[in-house]
Amino acid sequence: MPVPKEIFDRIRERVDIVEVVGRYVTLRRAGNGMVGLCPFHQEKTPSFNVVPHKRMFYCFGCGEGGDAIRFVAKLRGISYTEAARELGNEVGIRVEERELSPEEQKRVRARQGLHETMEEAASFYRAVLMVRPEGSPGREYLKKRGITAATVERFRLGYAPSGWTPCLDHLQAKGFTPDTLQRAGLARPSDRGGYDVFRERVMFPILDGQDRVVSFGGRLVAEASADPGGESKAPKYLNGPETDVYSKSSVLFGLTQARSAIQRNDRVLLVEGYFDVISLSQAGFEETVATCGTALTPTHAELVRRLCHNAVALFDADEAGQRAAVRSLPIFADTGIEVLRLQIEGAKDPDEFIQKNGAEAFSKSLERAVPLMEAVIRWTAERFGSTPGGRQRAVEQLGPLIARFPEVARASWTRRVADLFSLPEAAVARQVRSGGAQPVRAADETPASSLSAAPLSREIRHLFWLLVHHGDMAVPRVSLVDPELVSNRLDVRDAVGALLSGSDVARIVAELPQGDLKRLLCEVSAQDGLYEETRVEAAIRHVLAALEEARIRELLAQIHQELSACEPTGDKARSDDLNRRRYALDQRWHEIKAIRRGATS
Ligand SMILES: [Zn+2]
């Protein structure tokens, strides 16, 4: 649901970025802004800047930057809109409430109803576990597994008692309708008005990015139980269904509790089960999360990427675990997260390992974790053997995986595979290249976006600095220049255009996708005095001339090429047109030469 941009503008204007950042970072005054230790990377000397008059922050150490909303989103691992909503609440600006059609309002109300239902159900399960007589099987079960009261508290564990309708009765007494309970996945319909889905189970509330209960996982405490649906045995683990507020592919169990530890340790431990998360967390490995009965998705990886750079995957040792590990590899490679794999020895899962061997032994085994890619290379080698045909197939399989890595990592994995299979490196490199070195472009991307790969030059940086800090002088001059002569990158031209039309840099940054341009704009905003006031005028002329000169050279080369392509076909109109453009560019070239001589004297 799109939020009107003006809402974000108003929030940026209303909140005090120094105050918001100051809640998490100790800032001291420096020049026109404030500096402190960056909360997003480990550092001993401050490189984290807040620029109050630009309403932005930027870290020269790790490149993180943006407005107050971005700061809160990044720190708490929530979306931009979610962070805007939180900050908006503080300053009395409602995000999203305006401009909703009656239909949308109805959906919002329905989602709110689901959130309230889940919250109330969590309270009910929790009360049963903590104090009610019918909660004793749950209490005993958790005691047997060595789960402490503090852990129960931390993960808000609960217990779904036996009987057909205790949860249903409780929630209906609170005014929730059977229909809502069914949509929430807590009840199933029956002739007599429905029955509870979760019975005789320890309940694990699953929270979304805003720490709201959106679903439950339930672990049966007895080994078998009757089911009115007719099955003689109920499954050991039961996961809540997807609903209007819950999508398995975008929620990680334990992330709320793990968030700050993940940032602190710059690492996440990925496991498969609820009890793995809880045991590891209780043993001091608080940075542990699990997917909820589903394979890892790019959305999961993105949730983690916002918080850290390293992951350790603890998939089960069986073949399913191996397959899951292989599937997750390209997902991690795409996000740039460094992923290790830890094989648990002598236990079926991390929970059992901790119970048997304790935290210290686990810590030691963590040191033995190997890069997941290395593990995949070894499995592949084992599977296909060392015959020429086997090696061929192995390298064909590994090529596309290696191709997903950034350049340096790609080169070293290529070499590793060549070594292991005793093949020439060039042969492996060919498989890597043919194996899809180019990620498939989304259909809606314009072809011009391939140009965005061109690096941002020093001149572009200076140009942005001048526009941001000395707009009054720079805007009138830059407005006269043909945008095509500023940069071949569309995103750069758009950003320049937005600054020329008076847009706030904080807003431009907020709307840019992650990437070098966003980073550059943040950096430039946080940078003091690139030129002295008196040099600004000359600097503008100089930078524009340098930019234009470089572009004109590029364009002339292009025209030259096209002209020689015209000759054999004799396309007269086309070559006339090209010659006219060449003439104009030549003229401009001479003008610029004159300007540059003037600017540097
Ligand atoms: Zn930083």
Q: pLDDT value at position 252? A: 95
Ion ligand 1: residues, Cβ under 5 Å: 38, 40-41, 59, 61-62
Q: pLDDT value at position 341? A: 92
Phi/psi-derived region of residue 336, left when phi > 0, alpha when psi is between -120 and 50, beta in every other case: left
Q: What's the CA-to-centroid distance between 562 and ligand 1, angstroms?
A: 46
Q: What's the CA-to-centroid distance between 493 and ligand 1, angstroms?
A: 28
Sign of CA dihedral 469, 475, 477, 482: positive
Question: pLDDT tens digits for 362-419?
Answer: 999 999 899 999 999 998 888 888 888 888 888 988 988 898 888 888 899 999 999 9
Q: What's the CA-to-centroid distance between 458 and ligand 1, angstroms?
A: 22
What is the distance between the alpha carbons of residues 88 and 326, in angstroms, rounded to a whole number? 42
Mean pLDDT in residue range 153-168: 95
DSSP assignment, residue 510? H
Mean pLDDT in residue range 51-67: 89
Per-residue confidence band for 488, with pLDDT thresholds at 50, 70 and 90: confident
Q: What's the token pair of residue 441? A: 């472009």
Helices (H) and strands (E) in the chain, counts: 25, 17
Mean pLDDT in residue range 139-144: 95
Nearest to 168 by CA among 180, 158, 157: 180
Q: What's the CA-to-centroid distance between 59 and ligand 1, angstroms?
A: 5
Question: pLDDT tens digits for 265-321?
Answer: 889 999 989 999 999 999 999 999 998 888 888 888 888 887 888 999 998 777 777
Nearest to 519 by CA among 443, 589, 455, 429: 455
Return the amino acid letter for 53: H
Question: pLDDT tens digits for 101-129?
Answer: 777 778 878 888 999 999 999 999 999 99
Q: What's the CA-to-centroid distance between 141 and ligand 1, angstroms?
A: 44
Nearest to 218 by CA among 196, 245, 251, 195: 196
Q: pLDDT value at position 217? A: 95
Q: What's the CA-to-centroid distance between 62 and ligand 1, angstroms?
A: 4
Q: What's the CA-to-centroid distance between 40 and ligand 1, angstroms?
A: 5
Mean pLDDT in residue range 196-211: 91
Q: What's the CA-to-centroid distance between 58 and ligand 1, angstroms?
A: 8
Mean pLDDT in residue range 170-175: 94
Q: What's the CA-to-centroid distance between 407 and ligand 1, angstroms?
A: 23
Q: pLDDT value at position 443? A: 31
Please, are residues 121 and 243 in contact by the beta-carbon 8 Å criterion? Answer: no
Q: What's the token pair of residue 279? A: 């045991």
In this predicted structure, the answer to whether residue 576 has a pLDDT above a threshold of 90 is: no
Number of CB atoms found within 10 A of residue 134's CB: 15
Q: pLDDT value at position 37? A: 92
Can you name the residues that pair with 201 across neighbouring β-strands? 160, 220
Q: pLDDT value at position 346? A: 85
Q: What's the CA-to-centroid distance between 171 and ligand 1, angstroms?
A: 47
Mean pLDDT in residue range 49-58: 90
Q: pLDDT value at position 448? A: 33
In this predicted structure, the answer to whether residue 336 has a pLDDT above a threshold of 90 is: no
Residue 370, classed as helix, strand or coil, is strand
Q: pLDDT value at position 587? A: 85
More confident residue, 433 or 168: 168
